[in-house]
Structure 1
Amino acid sequence: MALDRPDLPLNGLRVFEAALRQGSFTRAAIELRVTQAAVSHQIARLEDRLGVTLFLRTSGGLVPTEEGRALYPVVEHGFDAIARVLDRITGQRHIEILNVGVVTTFAVGWLLPRLAAFQHSHPAIDLRISTNNNRVEILREGLDMAIRYGAGNWTGLKAELLVDAPLSPLCAPSVADRLATPDDLGREVLLRSYRGDEWPRWFARVDGACPPLTGPIFDSSVAIANIAVDGGGVALLPVAMFIRHIDEGRLVQPFAAQVSAGSYYLTWPADRPATPEMADFAKWLHAELLDENDTGYAEYRDKGVSEIS
C-alpha cells in the first residue's frame, strides 16, 4: 500500500524508532517525554495505518516482527539524514551517537585504554560503550554493533573477525614457581568459565589427562584473572587480552601451549545498512589491532581491513 506524502505518519514513525531502539514502550516514553499510553497509542495507529503488526509484546519485552525489522533501518537512516541536513542548514556541528556492546574481557583488556585515541581522531562520533558477559541482543538493547567472543556464526548478524584469542594457563608468579610440567596443574585449583570444555581441550593439546574440575564457575574472564592474580588458582585465559598483566608481572604464562576456543568479532544486524560511523569505528579497530608497534598484536597485522561499507 502506497503512502500519500501529505499523510506520512511521521509522529508514529518517530515513536516506532525510539521504541525499537529502546526495546520498551516505557523507555521510549521517557526518551520522548510523553506517557507510555501515548507511545502505545502512536504504535497502534501506525500499525493500523500500515496494516501490519510491528511488535510482539512478550514477557521478555518488545520483539520486532519481520515487518518491524525491515522498517527500522529505513526510518532510522531517514531521521539521521534529516538531522544532518538541518545541521548543515543551521551551521551546527552534527554529532553522531554510536552505541556498541562489548564483552567485558575485550573492553578491559584492549578497548578502554584506547578510547581517548578514538575520540581524538573521531570527534564527531559520540561513542557509548555497554559491557556484557558475551550475552547481548543488539536491537533489543538499542545497540548499533557489538564486539563478542565466539565462532563468528550468530544468526541474523554479520560478523567481522577482529583478533584471534587462543587460551593458555595464566597464574600468579608464586603459583608458576610450582609448575614444572602440565602434570603439576593437577595439584592446583583450575579456575573455570561457563564453557566447560576449555580445560579438557587444553590438556588434550599437551597430551595430558585433565584432572577433575571442581569449584565455582565464572561468567567473566576478568573475574577469573583477578582471582589468579591473587594466587587463588590457575586461569585459562585469552593471553592477548592480558598482555598488560603479564608485562607488569601480575600474571605469568607457565606453558607456551595454547588452544583455540574462539575469536573476537565485530557484529551488527545483517538487515541494517552500516552507517558511516559504524564503518569508521570498524576501520579504527582494525588499524589499531594491526599496528605493528602495538605490543601483543603484531602477529595479527596481516588480517586485512574492515569490509564494512
Structure 2
Amino acid sequence: MDIRALSLNTLRAFEAAARHLNFTRAADELCVTQAAVSQQVRMLETHIGKALFRRTTRGLVLSDEGVVLAPVVSDALGRMSAALAVVAGQGVREILTVGAVGTFAVSFLIERLPDFQAAHPGIEVRLLTNNNAVDLWTESLDLAIRFGDGSWHGVATERLMPAPMTPMCSPRLADQIRHPGDLARFTLLRSYRLQDWAAWFEQAQVKGTVANGPVFDASHLMATAAIRGMGVALLPLAMFGRERESGLLVNPFDLAVDRGSYWLTRLSSRPMSDAMHAFSDWLIGLTRTHP
C-alpha cells in the first residue's frame, strides 16, 4: 500500500488519538480542533479501508487494526524526530520511557540506573512507577517491569528474576516468633495480592490463620511499616537484602513461597528501538548476576 498519499498530519493525529483514546485531548496536544483530528483519522481509515477505533460505553478503544498500527506509527514518528535532530546538528538523545512496579524501582533499579546513564549518555530514561496495574500503550511506555507469571496478552516478556516471598518483621517482633503458627498472634500486613499469605501458610502447613492487617499497594511501603513494628510483612527476599543485612528486617523462617517473578515486558507489536535494546540488554545482564 502506497503511504505517500498520507500527510504527516494524518499520522500525527492518529498517533495522538490512539495514545490518549480521546479526540479532544489529542486535539489539545496538537493545537487543532477536535473536528480536525476526527477528519484526519477518517482520512486514514478511508485510505486503509479499516476502522481504527470503536466507540463503547466506556469510551473510545482501538480496533484490532488500530492496535497493530498505533505502535508502528508512534515508533516511526519518533525515529523521524531523531533523524531531524541529527540533520539539524542537535545530536541524538533518544527518550526511553520505562514503567516499573514500585518495589523493583526503589529496591533494585534506582541505585543502578546512574551506571546505565553513564554508559548511554544519548538515552534519556523516564522512569514511572506503578502498583503492577499497567497499560503499555495508553501510558506510552516503551518497556515495563512487572511482577507476575509472565502471561499478559499481547505482551512480549523476558524473565528478570524470581521473587520468592517470606515473612519479615522488626527484630523486636522476631524475638517473639518461634514457629509459623505464632504468626496468628501478630498483625499480618497485606499487599493487594490478598492470597499471598494464604499460599505461604499452606506451604508452612498451618491451618486456620487468616491475614487481616492493613493493605498496601507496594511491598516497599509494607516493608517500611514492618520496620516500624506495625506487623509482619510477606516480602520478596530478592528486594530486601540490604534491610536484612543491616538488621532492620528479620526473616524468622527460611520457608519462602513462589508467587511470581519480575519480568521485563513490551508490546509484541512494538518494534524494538536502539534504546530499548540497550536498556533490555543492560537490565537482563544485571539480573542474571544478582544473587
TM-score by length of 1: 0.87
Stretch of structure 1 that moved more, 216-225 or 264-273: 216-225
Structure 1 position 246, deviation (Å): 1.9
For 1:126, what is the secondary structure of its paired residue? strand
For 1:259, what is the secondary structure of its paired residue? coil
For 1:97, what is the secondary structure of its paired residue? strand
Report the counterpart of residue 198 of structure 1 in structure 2: 196
Structure 1 position 59, deviation (Å): 5.0
Report the counterpart of residue 170 of structure 1 in structure 2: 168
Q: What is the aligned length?
A: 291
Structure 1 position 61, deviation (Å): 4.5
Report the counterpart of residue 210 of structure 2 in structure 1: 212
| 8 Å Cα contact 2:101/2:130 also seen in 1 | yes
Stretch of structure 1 that moved more, 264-273 or 62-71: 62-71
Stretch of structure 1 that moved more, 125-134 or 38-47: 38-47
Report the counterpart of residue 21 of structure 1 in structure 2: 19
CA shift in 2, pair 1:97/1:44, >3 Å: same
| 8 Å Cα contact 2:160/2:288 also seen in 1 | no
| 8 Å Cα contact 1:169/1:253 also seen in 2 | yes
CA shift in 2, pair 1:225/1:156, >3 Å: same
Matching of residue 226 in structure 1 with residue 217 in structure 2: no
For 1:290, what is the secondary structure of its paired residue? helix
Structure 1 position 149, deviation (Å): 0.4
CA shift in 2, pair 1:125/1:28, >3 Å: farther
| 8 Å Cα contact 1:170/1:235 also seen in 2 | yes
Report the counterpart of residue 95 of structure 1 in structure 2: 93
Report the counterpart of residue 135 of structure 1 in structure 2: 133
Choose which of 104, 109, 113 in structure 1 pairs with 2:111. 113
AA partner of residue 144 (structure 1): D
For 1:31, what is the secondary structure of its paired residue? helix
Give, in whole Å, the separation in 2 of the partners of 1:183 and 1:135: 33
CA shift in 2, pair 1:113/1:210, >3 Å: farther
AA partner of residue 225 (structure 1): A
For 1:266, what is the secondary structure of its paired residue? strand
Query: 1:243-254 counterparts in 2 under 5 A?
Result: 243-254=241-252
Choose which of 181, 184, 187 in structure 2 pairs with 1:183. 181
TM-score by length of 2: 0.92
Query: 1:260-279 counterparts in 2 under 5 A?
Result: 260-279=258-277
Stretch of structure 1 that moved more, 138-147 or 187-196: 187-196
Report the counterpart of residue 64 of structure 2 in structure 1: 66
| 8 Å Cα contact 1:23/1:141 also seen in 2 | no
CA shift in 2, pair 1:212/1:152, >3 Å: same
Stretch of structure 1 that moved more, 108-117 or 194-203: 194-203
Residue deviations 1:87-133 (CA, integer Å, cap 9, x gap): 33333211111111111111111112222222111111111111111
Report the counterpart of residue 50 of structure 1 in structure 2: 48
Report the counterpart of residue 2 of structure 2 in structure 1: 3
Report the counterpart of residue 148 of structure 1 in structure 2: 146
Tell me how large the CA RMSD over aligned residues is.
2.0
CA shift in 2, pair 1:114/1:60, >3 Å: farther
For 1:101, what is the secondary structure of its paired residue? strand
| 8 Å Cα contact 2:198/2:210 also seen in 1 | no
Give, in whole Å, the separation in 2 of the partners of 1:122 and 1:80: 18
CA shift in 2, pair 1:108/1:23, >3 Å: farther
CA shift in 2, pair 1:282/1:55, >3 Å: same
| 8 Å Cα contact 1:245/1:251 also seen in 2 | yes
Residue deviations 1:62-83 (CA, integer Å, cap 9, x gap): 3211111222233233323333
